Structure 1
Amino acid sequence: MVIEPDETNKAVSSAAPESDEMQPARSLERPRDRAPAFGLSLKLLILTLLFVMLSEILIFVPSISKFRHDWLTRKLELTEVAARIYTKSPSHLMNQELAEDLLKRLKINTLALRTDTQRRMLAMMEAPGEIERDDDIEAMNPFQKISAAFDTLIWGEGRYIRIVGQTADDQGMIELVFKETDLRRDMVAYSINILLLSLVISIMTASLVYLSLRALLVRPILHLLDNMATFSSDPEDGGAVIRPSERRDEIGMTERRLAEMETILAQNLQRQRRLAELGMAVSKINHDLRNIIASAQLFSDRLALLEDPTVQRVVPKLMSALDRAVDYSRSVMSYGKAQEAPPDKRLLKLHQLGQEVHDFLGLPESARIEFLNQVPQDFEIYADPGQLFRVLFNLCRNAADVMQLGAEMSVISRIELRAREENGKVVIEISDTGPGVPAAARKNLFRPFQGSARKGGTGLGLAISAEIIKAHGGSIRLLDRAPGAHFEIRLPKN
């Protein structure tokens, strides 16, 4: 195979970087993020205030109803004392003036005593207006008490109310009528005190929560953001990696994971920069090497025309060595090109593609290598024909090269290509009867420059094949089967 100089230049120009693709990674100066005006700290402060106020409201509702109940209970107790004075004192001691003075001090309009058989009016200062509310405080459930409390707060100004309660000796019921104005005024004062106290508690609680969360959460997050900005400006600088604190909580875990990630990223970027520099050097060396190989091939072709037996015996080996050098150079240049194009999938006959692979292998008769295409004639597959051809050709050529190196008269050398459908997948098997894949090569089989199964190989063919199959949404693996090497490719059916 002769490489023309213009082909070499094209290969080099396609593999060599035309811009900064293979240049070392440059640091990107990014402005550091400033803490927003309405940041996390202020949000936490506002939310804490709202939640504490909500809690105080939930506390206020039952407490205001209890305040009303206790206020009325005390009034009933004082009124019961007055009722006992009326019922126990001699009639000549309890005159109208004293009764009115007692009712005035109790701030009630009428006082009555109920029994099972009668209702006795004990005293009345003045006839009350329309009674708009009538409560038996002993018979009210909690919801009724809450409803009554808010009813008093809203409508109690100047309204007459009648309250009934059991006497201490359970001998009857005390009934009194009075204006709700004083009750409402005391309830409003109590509500204002509760509101002021709630505000003080909310502000103190929110401030403590704010300071605590800022120290425990916000500042560490700002420190993480500052480190990210510093590291992103020069990700290859190992000194920019964050130094984790000794915290054992989630923030400490985040710092340690970030430190690990930044360390790995810095190492990878340094390694990629070295590889980029090495790639540029290799592309230049490869360009010159291919020109030298092309010249050597020209000379070997001329030597092949000589009839000298020694020359005829040496030239095939020389040409084979030059061909391997050309393949190595082409593989390196091919791998250095841009990423493979997305597969252009089409419906194709796999048996016919296998025959094309056989034809391109060009197996010499002296090699005694048999190629068996066991794929059914009508077997169809949905794939990129060019890319799938490259995969099958790489695998079959590797098998042929390995078997040619150790070929003996009595050894059967065979390459088999099979295909089947299994669980909605297309399974393709490429098998050979060679010595198999060495154990040392199995670990890095599909990694470039590391997974070669034959002496002098680059391992790029398997690496490129794995990338193509992955782009098709499939997988490739080496089966643990003897003798020989057995590769299995699984592809989606559609």
Structure 2
Amino acid sequence: MLFMPGKGLGRDRKARESMTQDVQGKEPPEPAAATVPLARGLSTKLLLLTLVFVLLAETFIFLPSVASYRISWLRDRLATAAAVSIVLVQGDPAALSREAQDDVLMAIGARAIAMTDGGVSRLLVVADMPPEVDKHIDMANVGMFGEIAGALDTLINGGGSMLRIYGPAGEDEREFELIMPDKALRAAMLIYARNVALLSLLISVFAAMLVYAAMDRIMVRPMRRLARSMLSFSQAPEDPTRIIAPAARADEIGFAERELSRMQERLQKMLAERRHLADLGLAVSKINHDMRNMLASAQLISDRLSTSKDPTVQSFAPRLLRTLDRAVSYSEGVLAYGRTQEPAPARRLVKLHSLVEDLRDMVNADSGTEFVNAVPPDFEIDADPDQLFRVLTNIARNAVQAMSSETDRVSVRRLTVSAERQGSVCRIVVNDTGPGLPPRARENLFSAFRGAARQGGTGLGLAIAQELVRAHGGTLELVGSESGDTTFAVSIADRPLPFGRAFDGQRRHG
């Protein structure tokens, strides 16, 4: 297509505006001051969880404590009954009047007191002997789980049961026996349980406050600082003062702060590179109109040359026409590149040998470099010819520039392009005998503005080449780079055939 001067100026202005918006992106609205409600805040959750967990821990102490109190209360009553029994045994139990016996039993809270000595049981004091006893408690054989089960039973079901408590008292080998109701025991246990529960609650609140204060200082405040830093950075990511200054901590919080700081620094660099790309796209779009005018004039001249009868002119005119067509296509694709998005590849079968021959004329002019096209003449690849040509041009031009920078006249300057097929994958290998890539260029090989191997380079060539190869679903890799041997490889797989076509092909070949 022939581009005439003056046309497309309005479209260029609109395209430039669109490209600027796409590259730089719309400025996000500044977020409002984000505040978390107190009820849903991390501090409140931490305080409540600490309180619950401490109370849960106190529960495991509460039950054994109440059970221990029950056993101690029963032992005290049995010891008192034992003391009374010894006094009565020394005298005459029958000499006690009925009123005196009732007073003794009332003081202990019992209905009867007995003693066993030498296998002989004696009922010492009795008043209103109950017809039956509900529970028997052997004070000499009470285990921990038995204590807890008995305490729970007394608290839940007690108050109307009759107990028989028996066992030795102190170091006395005689066995004493006491029959009493559990009403007083249950009342004492309820008071003790209430006091223990209140004390546990106070301990839980105090412990929760201490844990909260420590965790707030160690974790909550640093997390708030991280959140404020991220919010502040999102409002003005180009401001270096918004980058968090990591604290000198060796724990996970310190690690998170250091990683956040590195991420913010990387984001700032990426944004700066995108701004440079946007500026570059704007600058290129401004000269795009004038470039198309010059290409239009060159196309007019080339059209006249194609009608010349001179054999020499006839030999280079087709290549000149193809070169101008590609230049026009590149000019049209400038805006698309400025938007950092390449068109989808229009893939078809391409004779790679002929494409590499066109590459010879692009990179070999006045360079003094030997160009070797080692691609078999019948080699075919499934790719977009224009995009593949751009990929090979960028790789080859970098190689030629690297070899041209050497001042040693005796050094071999050779660029070799070869290809091979590995199953359904086509692998194109570009090898040069240049000085190799410096370490800085290897680290940022496919990064725009950072992967330049020479002074003054932009590093865009390989970045564009990798983007085009990825659009084909392929890979671009540096196989090796040493002095005198640098090799790049482009691998592109064939597109899968539709099922119907593959079945027809198998049937024809079968």
TM-score range, shorter chain: 0.7 to 0.9
Give 1:75's match in structure 2, choosing from 74, 77, 84. Answer: 77
Alpha-carbon offset, residue 304 of structure 1: 9.6
Distance 2:129 2:455 in 1: 121
1:216-365 equivalent positions in 2, closer than 5 A: 216-244=218-246, 250-295=252-297, 298=300, 326=327, 330=331, 335-340=337-342, 353-354=351-352, 357=355
Distance 1:414 1:278 in 2: 32
Q: Counterpart of 1:489?
A: 490
Instruction: State whether residues 357 and 393 of structure 1, in contact with CA within 8 Å, keep that contact through their aligned partners in structure 2.
Output: no
Instruction: State whether residues 29 and 233 of structure 1, in contact with CA within 8 Å, keep that contact through their aligned partners in structure 2.
Output: yes
Alpha-carbon offset, residue 69 of structure 1: 0.8
Could you tell me which amino acid in structure 2 is paired with residue 464 of structure 1?
I
Instruction: State whether residues 140 and 167 of structure 2, in contact with CA within 8 Å, keep that contact through their aligned partners in structure 1.
Output: yes
1:34-433 equivalent positions in 2, closer than 5 A: 34-38=35-39, 39-90=41-92, 94-115=96-117, 117-244=119-246, 250-295=252-297, 298=300, 326=327, 330=331, 335-340=337-342, 353-354=351-352, 357=355, 371-374=373-376, 385-387=382-384, 390-391=387-388, 394-395=391-392, 399=396, 415-421=417-423, 426=425, 428-431=427-430
Instruction: State whether residues 93 and 125 of structure 2, in contact with CA within 8 Å, keep that contact through their aligned partners in structure 1.
Output: no
Distance 1:7 1:164 in 2: 118
Q: 1:295 to 1:353 in 2, by over 3 A?
A: closer
Alpha-carbon offset, residue 190 of structure 1: 0.1
Distance 1:156 1:56 in 2: 24
Residue 479 of structure 1: SS of its match in structure 2? Answer: strand
Distance 1:9 1:18 in 2: 15
Distance 1:360 1:415 in 2: 12
Task: Give 5+ residue unaligned stretches, structure 2.
Answer: 405-411, 497-510
Task: Give 5+ residue unaligned stretches, structure 1.
Answer: none
Distance 1:431 1:250 in 2: 47
In the alignment, is residue 4 of structure 1 matched against residue 3 of structure 2? yes
Distance 1:442 1:231 in 2: 30
Alpha-carbon offset, residue 294 of structure 1: 3.9
Instruction: State whether residues 394 and 465 of structure 2, in contact with CA within 8 Å, keep that contact through their aligned partners in structure 1.
Output: no
Residue 159 of structure 2: SS of its match in structure 1? Answer: coil
1:18-37 equivalent positions in 2, closer than 5 A: 18=18, 20-23=21-24, 26=27, 28-37=29-38
Distance 1:453 1:208 in 2: 59
Could you tell me which amino acid in structure 1 is paired with residue 427 of structure 2?
I
Instruction: State whether residues 3 and 294 of structure 1, in contact with CA within 8 Å, keep that contact through their aligned partners in structure 2.
Output: yes
Q: 1:48 to 1:73 in 2, by over 3 A?
A: same
Distance 2:224 2:37 in 1: 11
Q: Counterpart of 1:468?
A: 468
Distance 2:150 2:481 in 1: 84
Q: 1:47 to 1:102 in 2, by over 3 A?
A: same
Distance 1:241 1:51 in 2: 38
Distance 1:429 1:304 in 2: 33
Instruction: State whether residues 436 and 484 of structure 2, in contact with CA within 8 Å, keep that contact through their aligned partners in structure 1.
Output: no
Q: 1:92 to 1:283 in 2, by over 3 A?
A: closer
Instruction: State whether residues 28 and 232 of structure 1, in contact with CA within 8 Å, keep that contact through their aligned partners in structure 2.
Output: no
Q: 1:370 to 1:363 in 2, by over 3 A?
A: farther
Q: 1:215 to 1:457 in 2, by over 3 A?
A: closer
Q: 1:99 to 1:485 in 2, by over 3 A?
A: closer
1:285-328 Cα deviation digits (max 9, x unpaired): 243234235435645776899999xx99xx99xx79x9699489
Moved more, 190-199 or 129-138: 129-138
Instruction: State whether residues 417 and 428 of structure 2, in contact with CA within 8 Å, keep that contact through their aligned partners in structure 1.
Output: no
Q: 1:287 to 1:87 in 2, by over 3 A?
A: same
Alpha-carbon offset, residue 123 of structure 1: 1.7
Instruction: State whether residues 137 and 165 of structure 2, in contact with CA within 8 Å, keep that contact through their aligned partners in structure 1.
Output: yes
Distance 1:439 1:212 in 2: 54
RCO higher in 1 or 2 (8 Å CA, sep ≥ 6)?
1
Q: 1:166 to 1:411 in 2, by over 3 A?
A: closer
Q: Counterpart of 2:501?
A: none
CA RMSD between the two structures? 4.8
1:443-458 equivalent positions in 2, closer than 5 A: 443=442, 445-448=445-448
Distance 1:452 1:464 in 2: 13
Could you tell me which amino acid in structure 2 is paired with residue 63 of structure 1?
S
Q: 1:50 to 1:326 in 2, by over 3 A?
A: same
Distance 1:470 1:144 in 2: 74
Residue 37 of structure 2: SS of its match in structure 1? Answer: coil
Instruction: State whether residues 353 and 377 of structure 2, in contact with CA within 8 Å, keep that contact through their aligned partners in structure 1.
Output: no
Distance 2:84 2:301 in 1: 136
| TM-score, with structure 1 as normaliser | 0.76
Distance 1:9 1:274 in 2: 26
Instruction: State whether residues 435 and 483 of structure 2, in contact with CA within 8 Å, keep that contact through their aligned partners in structure 1.
Output: no
Instruction: State whether residues 3 and 290 of structure 1, in contact with CA within 8 Å, keep that contact through their aligned partners in structure 2.
Output: no
Could you tell me which amino acid in structure 1 is paired with residue 467 of structure 2?
E
Alpha-carbon offset, residue 139 of structure 1: 1.1
Residue 383 of structure 2: SS of its match in structure 1? Answer: helix
Instruction: State whether residues 396 and 415 of structure 1, in contact with CA within 8 Å, keep that contact through their aligned partners in structure 2.
Output: no
Moved more, 468-477 or 109-118: 468-477
Alpha-carbon offset, residue 179 of structure 1: 0.6
- How many percent of aligned residue pairs carry the same amino acid? 31
Distance 1:166 1:26 in 2: 88
Alpha-carbon offset, residue 455 of structure 1: 12
Alpha-carbon offset, residue 157 of structure 1: 0.5
Q: 1:398 to 1:133 in 2, by over 3 A?
A: closer
Distance 2:59 2:161 in 1: 26
1:119-147 Cα deviation digits (max 9, x unpaired): 22122122124311111021121111110
Distance 1:270 1:173 in 2: 93
Alpha-carbon offset, residue 55 of structure 1: 1.4
Alpha-carbon offset, residue 180 of structure 1: 0.5
